[in-house]
Amino acid sequence: MMAATLCGKLLPKQGWLPVTQSVRHGSKAVTRHRKPIHILKQKLLAVTKYVPPTPVVPKGAYPSERQEVKEESGFVLLLKRELKKLFQDYKMVAVAQNCNSNAEDMRILKHRLHRHGIAVKFFPNQVMCSFLSDSVYSNMAPLFIGPTVLFVSKEPKVKEMLTSLRSSPQMTLLGACIDNTLLSAQGVVSYSKLPSVSVVQGELVSGLAMMTAHTASMLQRHPAHLSALLQQYVKQQSSEEAPKAEEAT
């Protein structure tokens, strides 16, 4: 730039060019401090400044209509898969709340339950609730508040579990899901008092057999006995109907 202005004056003789030429001497564009902006540029910037539109309703006054869908992290998905497997494999899933049990108590309890084949599991409540609300077992969701422990076993060994829990005073049994049926604490206690399936089946069979055996024995007797019995029965029926008819009228 300077070289161009020099041409007019400092070239007395033709073909003479200065040895050194200073280019851009003076104020720099890129400075280390904040260079004061030219007044015209300042005015332009002030006029064209961005003014955002003011919202009619201040932020946070109403809840947002769109619900933020948070993607679940890999750990949460892993836990959910485990829970799904848990509910499929294990027949008995019991929920208890432990106020305060130190590591020693937990160790003893785990050992006692392991002897009967009951496993002790811990899951975060949030994951548990979200899993349960999607699955069939949604009615179990209100149980999971505060520090909860899951006792799971493949065979429903309720009596042993109750005896081990009675020895640790700080565990409170809240409910259980046995064979896809939700039971309360009292339901669990009554379930433990039930006799086993084979015993119940035997009782049922014997009861039915008794009825048929009774009928068979009655038929095997003399038919006169049977006819006498039937006549008596008819008399009783008619005598019952007569007073009933009298009461009605």
Question: For binding to other proteins (CB under 8 A), which residues are involved?
Answer: 97, 99-100, 102, 139, 142-143, 145-147, 170, 172-175, 184-187
Of 18 and 142, which has the nearer Cβ to other proteins?
142
Residue type, position 79, single letter = L
Instruction: Report, in Å, the least distance between residue 149 CB and other proteins.
Output: 14
Instruction: Report, in Å, the least distance between residue 128 CB and other proteins.
Output: 14
Of 147 and 202, which has the nearer Cβ to other proteins?
147
Of 116 and 187, which has the nearer Cβ to other proteins?
187
Question: DSSP strand E in the chain: where?
Answer: 92-98, 118-121, 148-153, 171-178, 181-184
Give backbone dihedrals phi and psi of 240, rounded to 5 degrees, phi first. Answer: -70, -40
Output b/e per residue, 7-18; b: 16+ Cβ within 10 A. eeeeeeeeeeee
Q: What distance in Å separates the CA atoms of residue 117 and residue 204, rounded to the nearest whole number?
A: 30
Instruction: Report, in Å, the least distance between residue 131 CB and other proteins.
Output: 18
Instruction: Report, in Å, the least distance between residue 152 CB and other proteins.
Output: 18
Cβ-contact 83, 177 below 8 angstroms = no
Strand order across the 181-184 sheet: 118-121, 148-153, 92-98, 171-178, 181-184
Of 87 and 144, which has the nearer Cβ to other proteins?
144
Of 169, 167, 152, the C-alpha closest to 116 is 152
Of 5 and 100, which has the nearer Cβ to other proteins?
100
